[in-house]
Chains A and B, each alone.
Chain A
Amino acid sequence: MCGGVPRLQGPLTRETIVAEATPPGEGGIAIIRLSGPLAPAILSQIFRGNQPVEQWAGHRLYAGWLVDELGQPLDEAMAVWMRAPRSYTREHVVELQVHGSPLVVREAIHLCCAGGARPARPGEFTLRAFLNGRLSLAQAESVAQVIASESRAALQGHVSDLGGRFSRLVEQLRLDLLDWLSRLEAELDFGDEVAAEPQEANEARLLGLRQRVSRLLEGGEEGRIARRGVQVALVGPPNAGKSTLLNALLGTRRALVSPHPGTTRDRLEETLRAAGRTFRLVDTAGIRETEDPIESMGVALTRATAEESHLRLLVLDGSCSLPPLDPKVWNPDLVVLNKCDLEAALPVEEVVSWACAPALSVSAREGENLEKLLELLSERAGRVGQGSELEYFLTERQRAALHVVSSHLEELDATLRSGLSAEFLCLDLRAASQALGEILGLEISEEILERIFSTFCLGK
């Protein structure tokens, strides 16, 4: 805490670390390296191949997909697991090869952190290799040089960001945390001079702080969207031609298409650049009452996908009557009346008033009106993903620290609700300020005492 916060986590603790191993930038292939006890477990969470990771042979390259928390594929990838101690660091090492776009690399690192790894410190892989006896003692000097040069590089990155908006927001947040903390510390150490902060005041402060942290994370999220594209969910009854539409828009045959209803049970996702925007089109399972447990799971997934998407396209078969679904549940941004090459059974006006959304007739099979559809999409997307005032890009280290802050504030909330006194609140408050201090390369230590004495007139 104040006097001497052990602010560093030791590499000797059994933490798993992750970093991009190839030089950053848009190269052909990027390699993401994980080292530590959790590496295999993280690999099996984020990588889908033909074989479960546990059955892999060491040092063999496997092909598959990088998948996100929901199991959605993000990118084609290759992976190799070097079992401890037969690796560079003598720990479990996993290397993932993905396409070298900075976006994919960031996503991959983010997923590793979500799985329990933390971003590696400058030169940490080399350090571990050395400490675990993988490098000879004669190489110590070069190990030291790696550490020093990588930290210089990191420092430069930090300095260039210092003038940045993100740093200012984080610093302000940290100061407000410290402000609260020193208020509480003063009431603990100088209880006879500083009255306890009322519960409501503490609650109000916490609420404000939590909102700001989530805004910071969301702002980072905005940055992410700008790079990942606008997510568009294609939803609708079975056999309305969603997959055909997706394929038509992409000009490929990515989705499995067949005349049998219910073919798309999983979610499929493709990136499309059109009308000057990046769209991520997500094909979903058809919506219908079903007894088939797999398919009903698919419908639940469709619901979730629709909710998290920026835009929802309700795809209907224009040659059939209105489907038995409640448009309010799906809240479409646009209704697509597909199969306009067949005889129309649905007047557009009726659809518009039923769905409370604009409608457009297209033919996925004949490619009719697709350009118009893309234009409408772009228009509907508005400013989504084009960056907003709040947009900034979080590095993985920053994101990890903000998540730490967020979870401490959540714990703090529980403590506050249980009516415990200030010293219990300080526990998470300190940890949160420390995590933020780490992003900015600061330490809290003496600062709290300084604040106590400059804010409160204390003393015997």
Chain B
Amino acid sequence: MTKFSRVVVVGAGHAGCEAALACARMGLSTIVLTSSRTHIARMPCNPSIGGPAKAQLVREVDALGGEMARVIDRTHLHIRMLNTGKGPAVQALRAQAHRPAYSEAMQEVLISQERVTIFQDLVLELRTRGDRVVGLVGSSGCLYRCDAVVQFAGGRSGEPPANGLASCLRSMGLQMGRLKTGTTPRVHRDSVDFGSLERIEPSSVPLTFSELSPRQLPARQLACFLTRTSPRTREIILSNLDRSPLFGGQIQGTGPRYCPSIEDKMVRFPDRTTHQVWVEPEGFDVPEVYLQGVSTSLPLDVQHEIVRSLPGLEQAVIIRPGYAVEYDYVLPTQLLRTLECRAWKGLFLAGQINGTSGYEEAAAQGILAGINAALRAEGGDPVSIGRDQGYLGVLVDDLVCRGTLEPYRMHTSRAEYRLLLRQDNADQRLTLLGRRVGLVDQHRWAVFQAKQSAIESELARLQRERVSGRVESDLSEWMGQSVQAGQKLEELVARPGFSLARLRSFQGLPELDPRVVEQVEISLRYQGYLRRQQAEVERLQSLEARALPVDLDYARIASLSAEAREKLETVRPSTLGQASRIPGITPSDLSLLMVTLKQCQTV
């Protein structure tokens, strides 16, 4: 049997869903292959979305016209803003999902999306012609013909191992690596003494990820809880280390530094007497409770002991034990910044298969891979996102220039233009791009434009108007800080703690959308810092703009050191800027590249 579509998306995890939706919304018939319909947009780890750097990614997916933000806005059971004591660039929204509802809502969106067809099937092999992928064969025997394929790998508890996929990619000459990850034991809700735990309440004001979600408080939210490991926990773990496959050598893949197992923590930080453990609900009517902070691969009897050594969990019953798994990934330096494989036209990789961890990281890659798969099928110019445009740009650039040896998770410290890449301005950074490729619909575009023009006109007004002598003293009293006649209003708003909303109410002006107020205040208050980062972006633009030919023969650049040549051949940077970020590439190597570029251009 043969089925035809423009794009085939393999896997329906968070990357797959965004990729498929992007392709279909850009007008292409799209087939989604999943091992099981119930595996669509599953959350095998903690059902939480957002947090520092990840919230920014979710907002970026939203700005491009993606789905993750809207779905979590509808299905969370707890949402709050993190880092509220800090500046806008590091504040981050984090939501705890009602797990089954999230997956169901995403399934519904996918199923009801025009041009998407879902099949239950696994990939056996990819079909190629020359250096182009033209389709694939499923384990059902069905042949899927298409112009582009987007792949991502899943493979957690209960899912069939994705080894077929790995061997299929390996047979295409792609270099693979191995990573490990772990989960924590889940305990039964009714066995936890919540009354003795520290309680973390959700936000009492409405918060949303999506620009389009209505701002209203959900009907019902749950609290999250916090406990800490006890000296007993430590004893138990240390005396059972020989039974841990992570320490015993059975599992050798590289685990993430930011997500160490509890064994790891105890061994590496012997001075620390206690470690935080978050106790988080996985759903309204879900019996499982997630224990964040005790990921482990120790045998079940030891897990029982560990859990019961935590204050408040003395009677806890484990209903799903924690475990560690290893999985294969493609060394991402074999990809272009469009997420297409350098060696295979039409083959796009996104998500865990590229060595990343996290739903948000996956979704963000998924939408980019989807856009580019659609553009590939249509013969359009591919798009890539700059490091100054989004965390998505940082993520992809890091992966393709530097690769990763551990599951890659986004942190704000990875972004050199952190002050520019805020969750509050993702729309300003990426909605235009989403509109250009046809992913941002009329409604979102109108909302965006209305917001932008409100921001601009308010900024213009504040620049124009000054404090008049008539209101000087009244205004000082009203604002609780001294203002002088003749001062520009924008100077006032730039002061820390000066509320624009309060100023407007003094002036008798109608209330503005808080999101507009926020943008105006941020752009005035942090002007100096924002300009500095912007200037840095512009200073390096010349390097970023200089494209290096994909087929550049580095062996022919005689004076290049062997080390530099090897690195350049592996990564094949697409611009001088990218080349400069490859570890070990020196300024003189760059100079040599410029000499070569000049030759290429003129010859």
Q: Could you tell me if A423 and B89 are in contact, using CB atoms closer than 8 angstroms?
A: yes
A2 beta carbon closer than 8 Å to chain B: yes
Residues of B within 8 A of A424 (CB): 87, 419, 529
Residues 1-56 of A contacting B (Cβ, < 8 Å)? 1-13
Segment from B169-177, B253-261, B507-515 that makes contact with A: B253-261
Residues 531-572 of B contacting A (Cβ, < 8 Å)? 532-533, 539-540, 542-544, 546, 557-560
Residues of A within 8 A of B272 (CB): 457
Q: Could you tell me if A6 and B543 are in contact, using CB atoms closer than 8 angstroms?
A: yes
Interface string of A409-425 (1 = CB under 8 A from B): 00000000011111110
Q: Could you tell me if A6 and B581 are in contact, using CB atoms closer than 8 angstroms?
A: yes
Q: Could you tell me if B580 and A131 are in contact, using CB atoms closer than 8 angstroms?
A: no
Segment from A91-99, A307-315, A341-349, A444-452 that makes contact with B: A444-452
Residues of B within 8 A of A367 (CB): none
The complex places the Cα of A185 from the Cα of B257 at a distance, in Å, of: 15
Q: Could you tell me if B539 and A1 are in contact, using CB atoms closer than 8 angstroms?
A: no
Residues of A within 8 A of B591 (CB): 11, 121-124, 127, 147
A151 beta carbon closer than 8 Å to chain B: yes
Q: Do A5 and B581 contact each other (CB < 8 Å), given the known contacts A419-B496, A427-B532, A453-B257?
A: yes
Segment from B230-238, B407-415, B438-446 that makes contact with A: B407-415
The complex places the Cα of A131 from the Cα of B596 at a distance, in Å, of: 10
Q: Contact partner of B397 among A3, A193, A452, A453, CB < 8 A?
A: A3
The complex places the Cα of A191 from the Cα of B53 at a distance, in Å, of: 12
Q: How large is the interface on A (under 10, 10 to 19, 20 to 34, 35 or more residues)?
A: 35 or more
The complex places the Cα of A190 from the Cα of B54 at a distance, in Å, of: 12
B276 beta carbon closer than 8 Å to chain A: yes
Interface string of A123-152 (1 = CB under 8 A from B): 110010011000001001101110110110
Q: Could you tell me if B539 and A9 are in contact, using CB atoms closer than 8 angstroms?
A: yes
The complex places the Cα of A148 from the Cα of B52 at a distance, in Å, of: 43
Min CB distance, A336 to chain B, in Å?
A: 53
Min CB distance, A459 to chain B, in Å?
A: 5
A460 beta carbon closer than 8 Å to chain B: yes
Q: Contact partner of A4 among B85, B293, B401, CB < 8 A?
A: B401
The complex places the Cα of A165 from the Cα of B394 at a distance, in Å, of: 38
Q: Could you tell me if B414 and A1 are in contact, using CB atoms closer than 8 angstroms?
A: yes
Residues 212-264 of B contacting A (Cβ, < 8 Å)? 256-260
Min CB distance, B563 to chain A, in Å?
A: 13
B592 beta carbon closer than 8 Å to chain A: yes
Q: Could you tell me if A123 and B292 are in contact, using CB atoms closer than 8 angstroms?
A: no
A196 beta carbon closer than 8 Å to chain B: yes
Q: Could you tell me if B586 and A151 are in contact, using CB atoms closer than 8 angstroms?
A: yes
* Residue of A8, A143, A151, A445 most packed against chain B (CB within 10 A): A8
Q: Do A427 and B414 contact each other (CB < 8 Å), given the known contacts A151-B586, A453-B257?
A: no
The complex places the Cα of A40 from the Cα of B265 at a distance, in Å, of: 60
Q: Could you tell me if A147 and B268 are in contact, using CB atoms closer than 8 angstroms?
A: no
Q: Could you tell me if B86 and A188 are in contact, using CB atoms closer than 8 angstroms?
A: yes
Min CB distance, B187 to chain A, in Å?
A: 16
Residues of B within 8 A of A422 (CB): 86, 90
Q: Do A6 and B540 contact each other (CB < 8 Å), given the known contacts A140-B599, A147-B588, A421-B87?
A: yes
Interface string of A161-196 (1 = CB under 8 A from B): 000000000000000000000000100111111001
Residues of A within 8 A of B53 (CB): 189
Q: A2-B414, A127-B594, A459-B260 are in contact. List 9 more A-B contacts (CB 8 A).
A: A4-B387, A5-B416, A5-B581, A6-B543, A140-B598, A423-B412, A423-B418, A454-B268, A460-B295
13 contacts between A and B (CB under 8 A): A2-B411, A4-B394, A5-B581, A6-B543, A6-B544, A10-B543, A10-B576, A13-B540, A13-B542, A121-B587, A188-B90, A193-B276, A460-B293
